[in-house]
Amino acid sequence: MGEGREFLQLNLETRAKIIAAIMAAAALFTPYMFSRYFEPFDGIYVIWVMSLTWIHYSNVIPFFIFPPFMLLSNPINTLLRFWFVFEMYRCYIRKSIVRRALYIGVIGELWQLSLMMYQLIWGLLFGVIQIASVPIPLLLIFGVIILKVVKPPKPLGLWTDENNESESTDDFLSE
């Protein structure tokens, strides 16, 4: 119980760096795509789960692969995931609003959905009626949970600072 209070008493910059590090780890290691396809050689359906750093195939012998250039295989997805992490960091240092961070997270997930739709359309054109890949919005869900559990501070206004905030609302209310 005391540890939670200590975390809340950290300054904004330290708290934002901790949250950004947690979000960056989630961006690197949480899966973002799920696929299921038929493997004709083995005669089974194979589940394929993909992350920025690993791929898992559930073939006859399930295994994980850690390809060295996985971050570069889908550069737009990598950019969008880390842009979401950066916007989460900016929320906690009062440089951005929560809505903007959530919009960027949703854009990243819509990118994955657009890839799925592209593969689905090409599959339908060639007579393969199978959804090739399904996005997994774990990073967005994880970000929303963090935003709900650890409330980010309100960003400062354009010409206000922390000390004048309460004075200006008191003056406005007294008029």
Residue 165 has pLDDT above 80, yes or no: no
Q: Encode pLDDT of 77-136 as tens digits.
A: 999 999 999 999 999 998 999 999 999 999 999 998 888 888 778 877 876 666 667 889
| Mean per-residue pLDDT over the chain, rounded | 81
Residue 41 has pLDDT above 70, yes or no: yes
The pLDDT value given to residue 161? 52
The pLDDT value given to residue 24? 96
**Cβ–Cβ under 8 Å, residues 36 and 43:** no
Sequence-ordered list of residues with C-beta below 8 angstroms from that of 39, at least 6 positions apart, any chain: 45, 46, 59
Q: Alpha-carbon distance 152 to 161, whole Å?
A: 17
> CA–CA distance from 48 to each of 7, 25, 97, 133 (Å)?
38, 21, 36, 9
In this prediction, residue 175 has a pLDDT band, given cuts at 50, 70 and 90, of very low
Predicted TM-score (pTM) above 0.85: no
> CA–CA distance from 9 to each of 5, 6, 96, 98, 127 (Å)?
6, 5, 21, 21, 59
